[in-house]
Amino acid sequence: MPKKKVVRKSKRLKKVPPKKSAQIPVTKEMLFEVRDELKYSVSSLERKMESRFKKNDSRLNRIEACFKSVDARFGSIDARFESIDARFEAIDARFDKIDARFKLVDARFDKMESRFADIESLLKKVLSEVHRIGLFVEEQNARNKYVLDGYTSVSDRLDRIEKKIFKENV
């Protein structure tokens, strides 16, 4: 009976470093950084939209205040034509003026809220950039691992060659 050939498998597998950045495996941290970057970008856009809505509310409040002011003027003119109703119209005009002032104050508050929303949007954008930079750092760390493994491999090989040469010379 013929003997079977024994095939020896190499116990050491050679590590082949990736040739392109796209071949470097993605770490869990890198994936989380991308997710956080996207979340903060969406949040920034939401804040920006809120800011725009507040600005529009501010404009509408100013226009409404102008209309209230005009209504108050017409009310005082109507008061001249009707003697008894004139007194009530004057009181209504005063309330309309007060309401107009409140609308102006509300418009100012809306404008301030809009500014705060803008600042918050910028802050979210900065946080998004911080996470993006964190992703770059994590990616560079992943690349550095392959380079350090290569240097270690070259250093080990050089040590073996030096030992071999030393043994041959002795």
Domain residue limits at 69 = 27-159
Residue 169 lies in a domain: no
Residue 121 lies in a domain: yes
The string of pLDDT tens digits covering residues 25-74 is: 888 998 999 999 999 999 999 999 999 999 999 999 999 988 888 888 88
- Burial class for 50, CB neighbours closer than 10 Å (0-12, 13-18, 19+): middle
pLDDT class for 126, splitting at 50, 70, 90?
A: very high
**Number of domains composing the chain:** 1
Question: Interior CA angle at 25 toward 20 and 26, to 5°?
Answer: 120
| Cα–chain center distance at 110 | 24
The string of pLDDT tens digits covering residues 76-123 is: 777 666 776 767 778 899 999 999 999 999 999 999 999 999 999 999
Residue 122: how many other CB atoms lie within 10 Å: 13
